[in-house]
Amino acid sequence: MLSNLKKDLEKLRNPEKAKILQGFFKTKKGEYGEGDIFLGIVVPLQRLVAKKYTDLSLKDLQDLLSSKIHEYRLVSLLILIQQYKKADKEAKKKIVDFYLKNTKNINNWDLVDLSCPNIIGDFLLDKNKSILYKLSKSKNLWEKRIAIISTLNFIKTNDLNPTLEISEILLNDSHDLIHKAVGWMLRELGKQNKQLEEDFLEKHYRNMPRTMLRYAIEKFPENKRKYYLNKNNT
């Protein structure tokens, strides 16, 4: 099955699209996606391939996740999400453990954003969330992004404290991808509780990274956006 999946992806290879994606996902030396290789396959087509191979073993998924080829890794995560949805309690735990052991391979923002809410975020809804606080203090960019983006699922159930607490931990992070992620989650939190978001902003907006602030206040009225931006010092 694994060899057939790879053949299916090879048939969909698009060299021109691959060149565009190599630039978009910052794959040059010293950039966050350094070394990432693209086949140039759009996500909807990858989803179709993933649906054909939902019975792949974790061993085969590990093979895909360990690849330098971006689409291999994403398809493996899309399959893992499908397996997680159908799994019983014990199997879900096994999938989560597998995911957490592979954070070094979940190493671009789309891989994180498309997978962690559906696996880690879902699994931790009714459980101790200490693993996210540990990941938020990691030196690994992607583990920090997993920590904050996983809280998207909590926001949807109105469990908002983890988002606020992890946002506070990541407030002074140096990476633009963390600024964007935190700002995005604060904006999502605001859809549930605008006052809670504004309370957080009133406490921190003067010293928040400007990108984080811009993402957080994106849906605010123009006058309120200017209020925050004019007094932001970063």
**227 shares a domain with 173:** yes
Q: Is residue 66 assigned to a domain?
A: yes
44 assigned to some structural domain: yes
Q: Same domain for 80 and 6?
A: yes
CATH of the domain at 48: 1.25.10.90
For 57-96, give one letter per residue: b (16+ CB within 10 A) or e: eeebbbbbbebebbbbbbbbbbbbbbbbeeeeeeebeebb
Residues 6+ apart with CB under 8 A from 34: 26, 27, 28
Any domain includes 225: yes
Residues 154 and 80 grouped into a single domain: no
CA distances 97 to 42, 77, 169, Å, are 28, 13, 24
Residue written as token pair 């019983």: 88
Same domain, 73 and 140: no
- Note the pTM of the prediction, 2 decimals: 0.93
Q: How many domains does the chain have?
A: 2
Q: Would you say residue 118 lies in a domain? A: no
Quick one: 100 and 151 in the same domain?
Answer: no
Assess whether 101 and 141 both reside in one domain: no
Cβ atoms of 146 and 103 closer than 8 Å = yes
Note whether 21 and 55 are same-domain residues.
Answer: yes
Mean pLDDT for the chain? 95
3-state secondary structure 101-160: HCHHHCCCHHHHHHHHHHHHHHHCCCCCCHHHHHHHCCCCHHHHHHHHHCCHHHHHCCCC
pLDDT digits (tens, 9 = 90+) for 191-234: 999 999 999 999 999 989 999 999 999 999 999 999 899 877 77
Classify residue 71: in a domain, yes or no: yes
Q: pLDDT tens-digit profile of 130-155?
A: 999 999 999 999 999 999 999 999 99
Q: What is the predicted pLDDT for the residue at 66?
A: 97
- Give the domain range for residue 179: 124-234
Instruction: State how far the Cα of 112 lies from the Cα of 115, in Å rounded to an integer.
Output: 5
Are 60 and 134 part of one and the same domain? no
- Give residue-wise pLDDT tens across range 11-61: 999 999 999 998 888 888 888 888 899 999 999 999 999 999 999 999 999
Among the candidates 42, 76, 105, a domain finishes at 105
Residue 179 lies in a domain: yes
Contact indicator for 186, 157 with CB cutoff of 8 Å? no
Mean pLDDT score, 4-10: 97
Check whether residue 72 and residue 177 sit in a common domain: no
Q: Is residue 117 part of a domain?
A: no
The reply to whether 13 and 46 lie within a common domain is yes
**Angle in degrees, 0-180, between the axes of helices 176-192 and 194-204, rounded to the nearest 10:** 140
pLDDT tens track for 86-104? 999 999 999 999 999 999 9
Looking at the fold, whether 96 and 182 belong to one and the same domain comes out as: no
My answer on whether 135 and 88 are in the same domain is no
Domain assignment of residue 47, yes or no: yes
Q: Closest by alpha carbon to 182, among 194, 165, 196, 199?
A: 165
Q: Which of 73, 105, 137 is the last residue of a domain?
A: 105
